[in-house]
Structure 1
Amino acid sequence: MSPAPDSKQDRRPPYQHAADELRRDILQGRIKPGEQMPSIRELQERFGVANMTARSALNVLRDEGLIYTIHGRGSFVADHNAGGELSANYTAPAWYLANKDEKTGQAEPGEGGSDDTEAAGVAGDAGTTLAEVLTALRDEIRVLSADHQELRREVEELKAQRSKP
């Protein structure tokens, strides 16, 4: 039996092919931690796919913890070690653990709320998983980004008021 042509060997959806190639770029260092990922439009052109297909590829990488997204800014490569794997033994810095609840306004464990287990996991130092910390940090970055955007709008308004005679 002869092998199928290349186009028929892999029947996975196009978003998985795009995610695989982007993952390879990240893990091989072609896109470095902290760098911005290509825009959706650039991904559409690069892979010849639709908008939602490009978004799905980024969602796969986000779910894997390889990238994070800041609303209104784009997607960025998350830190990972040289072996290409995310560290499963990550422990949040002491300053983060000490200030997390007051910064994010999350309830203490046992006080109700939907994120009790997450708050308990992140508040405990040795039991903290990388996924919990990344989720908490992503949420905190989103809040800070929204605050930053609001401050920028206020500054622009003040500048506009000053420039009016």
Structure 2
Amino acid sequence: MSPAPESKQDRRPPYQHAADELRRDILQGRIKPGEQMPAIRELQERFGVANMTARSALNVLRDEGLIYTIHGRGSFVADTDAAGQFSADYTAPAWYLANRDKRPGQAEYEEGRPDDTDAAGTTLVEMLTELRDEIRVLSAEHQELRREVEELKSQQSKSQS
């Protein structure tokens, strides 16, 4: 009897398979900290999955602390510390799979930041993660503004010469 095709042997959901592949790319350094993750459309083509399946794979990595998302710009690999380790809120995939249905306010993360009325139910780690993500967004916006200012200065100096 011939072995089953590879897709039959892999019983993981497609989003988990995609998340595992992307996690491997990140941990092996093929996608470095600060680099942008592939676009949803690229993930759809690479893994042969639907839009929501690709988004679910990124959600897994975001929940693990490996990536962060800036609305309107994409997802990026999280920074590492001096030892090359990811942030303290990184959790192993086994933990995520065991506890994903027990997390309070899971639907809130799909829509964005939770309302202040729900803040009483959030943990300190969740609040710190939200603050870190907000700081990253502000930092990205700050860098973009600095580039625009430099371009304007450059244009002004060219026009004066």
Aligned counterparts, 1:2-151, within 5 A = 4-80=4-80, 86-88=86-88, 114-115=118-119, 121=124, 132-142=127-137
Closer/same/farther in 2, CA of residues 31 and 4 from structure 1, 3 Å limit? same
Structure 1, residues 118-162: CA drift from partner, whole Å, max 9, x if none?
A: 69x4xxxxxxx5x6533321134446768999xx8xxxxxxxxxx
Which 4+ runs in 1 deviate beyond 2 A?
Answer: 1-7, 80-89, 112-119, 131-135, 139-149
1:33 offset after TM fit, Å?
Answer: 0.2
Distance in 2 (CA, whole Å) between partners of 1:4 and 1:82 is 45
Distance in 1 (CA, whole Å) between partners of 2:117 and 2:11 is 43
Distance in 1 (CA, whole Å) between partners of 2:51 and 2:26 is 21
Closer/same/farther in 2, CA of residues 10 and 84 from structure 1, 3 Å limit? farther
Tell me which residue corresponds to 2:112.
none
Query: Contact 2:31 / 2:37 at 8 angstroms: preserved in 1?
Result: yes
Closer/same/farther in 2, CA of residues 3 and 28 from structure 1, 3 Å limit? same
Closer/same/farther in 2, CA of residues 117 and 49 from structure 1, 3 Å limit? closer
TM (normalized to structure 1)? 0.57
Bigger Rg over Cα: 1
Closer/same/farther in 2, CA of residues 52 and 82 from structure 1, 3 Å limit? farther
Does the residue aligned with 1:115 lie in a helix, a strand or coil?
helix
1:57 offset after TM fit, Å?
Answer: 0.7
TM (normalized to structure 2)? 0.58
Structure 1, residues 34-77: CA drift from partner, whole Å, max 9, x if none?
A: 00000011111111111111111111111111000000110000
Count of aligned pairs: 120
Closer/same/farther in 2, CA of residues 78 and 49 from structure 1, 3 Å limit? same
Distance in 2 (CA, whole Å) between partners of 1:54 and 1:6 is 20
Root mean square deviation of aligned Cα: 3.6
Distance in 2 (CA, whole Å) between partners of 1:7 and 1:146 is 42
Runs of 5+ consecutive residues of structure 1 not aligned to the other structure:
90-111, 122-128, 153-165
Query: Contact 2:65 / 2:87 at 8 angstroms: preserved in 1?
Result: no
Runs of 5+ consecutive residues of structure 2 not aligned to the other structure:
90-115, 149-161
